[in-house]
Structure 1
């Protein structure tokens, strides 16, 4: 597995868990194109300087917001929306009536939550992948609240479909574990609440085994992430477009 180098992290005053997936290797050679797909937590803390960098240097032209309506009402749409960047609302969780699918008792319960995104909001999941593929130019920001679970699932599907090896997809997902404490410090500073106990912070860290198990179940049930996407409406043309969009031709 290729080392996940620190320079994929993006540093902003108002974000703690932001990175570019560009640079990840592709099966058969080449790398994911940088400056196409960025993943972050929610965007309400962005400073004017952050917005200028995202829309200027990084060329962000669309945002995929995976949060529930309730989260939007509490925290707002974020400063990129206020700056005129197109925001697509693609909630992965129903506002009510959510049920978790059954999984093997030895499997981490978070896997059921990830499967529920696909079961409850399959149209939004596929639309997220489709919108990443559809841009002719510019970058997409994908975010939820913390940038690890809903964002992790969508990015894992897109990377898998583009041809990133499984171990690299899992490692990119788990990379957010190093930023959970910083996220909590940002949230508690804003709210005035005390930092939670260390064990509570640790409970929220993404674990590689969760994503590995989730993708493994897609292998068993749908012949992999690509099989799931195809079964739920992604066309061969759209899949080819995604791969072309994420492939860095200069890396061969």
Structure 2
């Protein structure tokens, strides 16, 4: 893990997979602004100090929750919702099940699932991008259950639309693989069940080739992530606003709170 990757992690009592996408390099120069978009797993385990830090120092003004109704019923909306932070529910998975899109060839089943988000719930996917673009100040938190699949797809679309280089979009997605053990250790402790074995943990780790394949299929089928978003309702003005919010084209150094991985607690 590079120093830049370490510096993007945000330590919390009740989160293991939390980071700011700020600092990612833009194609042509500059970086994504810090303090605009944070990605995490679900928020039910936040401590009081976590909530204070998110709403105070980190300036969180809205939450985009990508979970299904059943997940929200089982685990709750989380402490930021209880603290009055505006929370938007945008499930990417139909409650009644789903049919995977038809794809020729030997395609990874996870890629099938990601494409199904776009075919089943295109309006919610675009709405998530629109919400990030529409917040004039402060930060957005986007999360699902583990902060890797549904969150990974939405964040990849936002970063692609902002102009982040493809290799860096893929690397950001894959970075969550380093936190799978921490998340399952916390969840297992809370539930009072044994920690999953190594094979089961590996099954949950994001793989770079999955996101690379997903974005390549968007290139092939739709002309790329931005073309897909625009074909499904994102306007030119909204795209421009998103880029204005996320892009720091003149930045050589990206300011903001940075915490090393060793500083997690």
How far apart, in 1, do the equivalents of 2:186 and 2:248 lie? 34
- Please state if 1:225 is matched with 2:225: yes
- Please state if 1:243 is matched with 2:250: no
How far apart, in 2, do the equivalents of 1:148 and 1:221 lie? 24
Deviating above 4 A after TM superposition, structure 1's stretches of 4 or more consecutive aligned residues are none
How far apart, in 2, do the equivalents of 1:4 and 1:120 lie? 36
Partner of residue 129, structure 2: 129
Q: Please give the secondary structure, in 1, of the residue aligned with 2:137.
A: coil
How far apart, in 2, do the equivalents of 1:64 and 1:74 lie? 18
Question: Following TM superposition, by how much is the alpha carbon of 1:248 offset from its aligned partner in structure 2, in angstroms?
Answer: 1.6
Question: Following TM superposition, by how much is the alpha carbon of 1:8 offset from its aligned partner in structure 2, in angstroms?
Answer: 0.2
Q: Please, what TM-score do these two structures have when normalized by structure 2? A: 0.93
Q: Please give the secondary structure, in 1, of the residue aligned with 2:80.
A: helix
Question: Following TM superposition, by how much is the alpha carbon of 1:104 offset from its aligned partner in structure 2, in angstroms?
Answer: 3.8
Partner of residue 114, structure 1: 114
Q: Please, what TM-score do these two structures have when normalized by structure 1? A: 0.98
Partner of residue 162, structure 1: 162
How far apart, in 2, do the equivalents of 1:249 and 1:101 lie? 37
* Residues 100-122 of structure 1: CA deviation (Å, up to 9, x unaligned): 11234422110000000000000
Partner of residue 65, structure 1: 65
Partner of residue 202, structure 2: 202
How far apart, in 2, do the equivalents of 1:25 and 1:196 lie? 36
What root-mean-square deviation, in Å, do the aligned CA atoms of Structure 1 and Structure 2 show? 1.1
How far apart, in 2, do the equivalents of 1:124 and 1:115 lie? 13
How far apart, in 2, do the equivalents of 1:70 and 1:5 lie? 33
Q: Which has the higher contact order (CA 8 A, sep 6+)?
A: 2
- Please state if 1:82 is matched with 2:85: no
Q: Tell me, yes or no, if the aligned pair for 1:68 and 1:93 is still in contact at 8 Å.
A: yes
Partner of residue 149, structure 1: 149
Kindly report which structure 2 residues correspond to 1:13-92, keeping only aligned pairs within 5 A, or say none: 13-92=13-92
* Residues 65-91 of structure 1: CA deviation (Å, up to 9, x unaligned): 000000000000000000000000000
* Residues 30-82 of structure 1: CA deviation (Å, up to 9, x unaligned): 00000000000000000000000000000000000000000000000000000
How far apart, in 2, do the equivalents of 1:49 and 1:210 lie? 36
* 5+ residue gaps, structure 1: none
